[in-house]
Amino acid sequence: MTDSDNQIQEGSTRINKYISSSGFCSRRQADEYIRQGQVTIDGVVAEMGSQVLPGQSVLVCGKPVVPEENRIIIAFHKPLGITCTTDPRDPDNIIDFIGYPSRIFPIGRLDKNSSGLILLTNDGDIVNRLLRAEGRHDKEYVVTVDRPIDPEFKKNMEKGVPILDTVTLPCQLNITGKSTFHIILNQGLNRQIRRMCEYFGYRVRKLKRIRILNITLGALPVGEYRKLNAKETKDLIAILDKGKKHPQ
């Protein structure tokens, strides 16, 4: 990178400031990552003093970082039939369905045959922290099964169910009707709720996610999205910061 590449251009931000303003780490820590060659700007290894222009992609240790003022987090009410993939070869992919004007990606997944809340963002650090297993982040679902619920069902589900060569973590379950219940999980095994119910002889007819941590689906219409408000974002980041770790 030449000296002219490092010259300040209108609207640009010094790389260490860019990284620290994302909340990924302090400016001093950012300098160390830069010295180690662990920071890239549009695929080019950054140097001390490098400038970042709007729209450029910055990775630290292979993870994308986004300054707070550029961060996008949206809540989307996923309809049935939409897949939580960014693959454009899938005609039902969530990105094309939403048509958001900036590049975003889903945080986690929600089965094609399930509906409800999913978050999408342009901030890779938030994705990593939300998906980190040790975070044990609460997710709440409303479930309808194919037959009346047995009195033992609640106790058996809550204590853990043997599926996928493991035993699910304890969860909270409240029966809300003859064949409906709310369940709060803090792990995300593949088709977990469906598999848990099948273990006890129930088949899930409807499954809707209504909450992820402090973010609720509320009255958001099916197929619509909204940006998180300032309080939701602040509270979400505060929750994630409690268990925040960075690569060394």
Q: How many helices (H) and strands (E) would you count in the chain?
A: 7, 17
Residues 146 and 200 in one domain: yes
| pTM reported for the whole predicted model | 0.79
Domain boundary among 15, 48, 68: 68
pLDDT, tens only, 144-156: 999 999 989 999 9
**Domain assignment of residue 247, yes or no:** no
Q: Residues 142, 208: one domain?
A: yes
Q: In what order do the strands lie in the sheet with 39-41?
A: 44-45, 39-41, 58-60, 63-64
Which amino acid belongs to residue 191? Answer: R
- 3-class DSSP state for residue 2? coil
**How many separate domains does the chain show?**
3
Give the CATH number for residue 22. 3.10.290.10
Q: Are residues 117 and 219 in the same domain?
A: yes
Q: What local confidence, expressed as pLDDT, does residue 89 receive?
A: 95
Residue-wise pLDDT for 185-218, tens only, equals 998 899 999 999 999 999 999 999 999 999 999 9
Kindly state whether residues 75 and 61 are assigned to the same domain: no
Report pLDDT digits (tens) over 50-92.
999 877 889 999 888 888 778 899 999 999 999 999 999 999 9
> Is residue 90 flagged as an active site residue?
no
In a domain, 178, yes or no: yes
State which residues form the domain around 128. Answer: 71-133+215-241
73: CB partners within 8 A, 6+ apart: 119, 120, 121, 123, 126, 227, 228, 233, 236
Same domain, 187 and 172: yes
**Same-domain pairing of 153 and 127:** no
List the catalytic residue out of 5, 111, 123, 150.
111
Q: Could you give the percent of the chain with pLDDT greater than 90?
A: 68
Is the residue at 185 inside a domain?
Answer: yes
> How far is it, in rounded angstroms, from Cα 99 to Cα 215?
22
Residues 171 and 236 in one domain: no
Structure tokens at 204: 């899930």
